[in-house]
A and B are shown apart, each in its own frame.
Chain A
């Protein structure tokens, strides 16, 4: 219950600043442009596709590429919203309010996490409306679309957990943002190493944020991928809890 109170406060505070609105507008604007280009391409290709057996449908050719770009943009935006989560509270001293209240530290961390997650889920919902609008004139593969939405949500969840942990490490939001961006991009691109290095880099490939996301884009729902994102989120949430405990112990 108290988790929800903290989550709602966090979510409301986001919308009280122009930052969240600007972010939503920019994401929607950029992706709308990408979406229109993709629909245009699809219309040009339609004639050739009609002659193919087992041809890729509109979900593969419009929705999947759109979600690939959306993942990139969200990865760039996550640091902007997570950077202030704890660093700002430490800087302005509001963390003392939370720590001196009878709320346990895991509840504080979870509340803040859910607040930011709710913001990104609303952004993802807005993005999903674009391919959904094609249902007016085409047949969508709803199963595939759901897999893509789930993949993007899980990716956002993991990225937020990482950003939140890094914001507990410093009192300077900008430092947290840069660190988060660096770590997210590194995790995203880590499978490049496995592509070029060959053997011994399977592990690196497994760690990649991108590789697990790709299978969702193909419409595959693999419990390994689900577990990967959930474990990643859980790991960084626990790290954040430990870090806050440490702040209380070490000062």
Chain B
């Protein structure tokens, strides 16, 4: 039990005050975070928020202007070769050579990551099985579908058994079934490793990740565990009324801060954390013909909208 605890608490990635400019624009500005073994960390944010740039710096493809990146206790900037050995990276566009077969591509990648000839062959055979690539192993990559490209890309990123996997939008451009398979694969691979992935799909992050971070204009604006999010008390009620009273009447209910009209007789009542007006609503139920009463937790979407959109309006 004690051993397991230490395993879980092991820090795999430590990023401190990472910054990067393109010309005069600060694309990433003072980003710091920590990744533990067993975590799946989801990066969320609108396009151009600096997610990809952060991940590229983490993979050593792009040099940061300032800050420090420690991977498995090794400084990526001081000892890049050693740090990159424990790192697997899948860029937005999987880096594949169309003229090679799946076998050749994976073997080449294994050799690049410093595996010996026999170790490479073993690693390729093992990963093909795990990622479901055995049937296509002799096909040319150029002839495979996008879903397979993504799988080969992921296989390539975990081939050398790295402790940290960095995936940039791993399910972009895939159909729902393919995305589900890829998510399943990522979940499986994350067991004994740490995974960092970026996505613009909130539902995906909610389904897959253990932790979430939101970026906006190069800065981290939210960081938290998804389990924390789920346990929070309701902060609003969604109600459906067949004969709704005037909006002002609902706003006057004790404890209600704000009412959003959702159309079709549906409303969202925002209330103080411990003052849900449930009882009052039920008393009025027959007059207003109450049809729906659902407490809503703070979802990822609400946080996202709150943080990203409302800041933009300001």
Contact = CB atoms under 8 A, between A and B. Distances in A.
B123 to A, nearest CB: 14
Given A5-B108, A248-B62, A251-B62, A96 B91 contact: yes
B97 A100 contact: no
B95 interface: yes
Contacts of A101: 84, 109, 112-113
Given A13-B100, A16-B99, A251-B62, A102 B114 contact: yes
A93 B93 contact: yes
A12 B87 CA distance: 27
Contacts of B111: 2, 5
A17 B109 CA distance: 20
Q: By CB atoms of chain B within 10 A, which of A6, A13, A97 has the most?
A: A97
Interface in B99-123: 99-100, 104, 108-109, 111-114
Size band of the interface chain A makes with B: 20 to 34
B63 A249 contact: yes
Nearest to B96: A94
A215 to B, nearest CB: 40
B80 interface: yes
Contacts of A104: 81
A99 B97 contact: no
Contacts of B93: 92-93
B82 interface: yes
A114 B171 CA distance: 37
Contact of A251 (B22, B81, B91, B109): B22
Contacts of A93: 91-95
A139 to B, nearest CB: 46
A98 interface: yes
A95 interface: yes
B95 A95 contact: yes
21 contacts: A2-B111, A5-B111, A9-B108, A16-B99, A16-B100, A92-B93, A92-B95, A92-B98, A94-B96, A95-B95, A96-B56, A100-B59, A100-B61, A100-B89, A101-B113, A102-B82, A102-B85, A102-B113, A248-B63, A249-B63, A251-B53
Interface of B: 20, 22, 53, 56, 59-63, 80-82, 84-85, 87, 89, 91-100, 104, 108-109, 111-114, 156
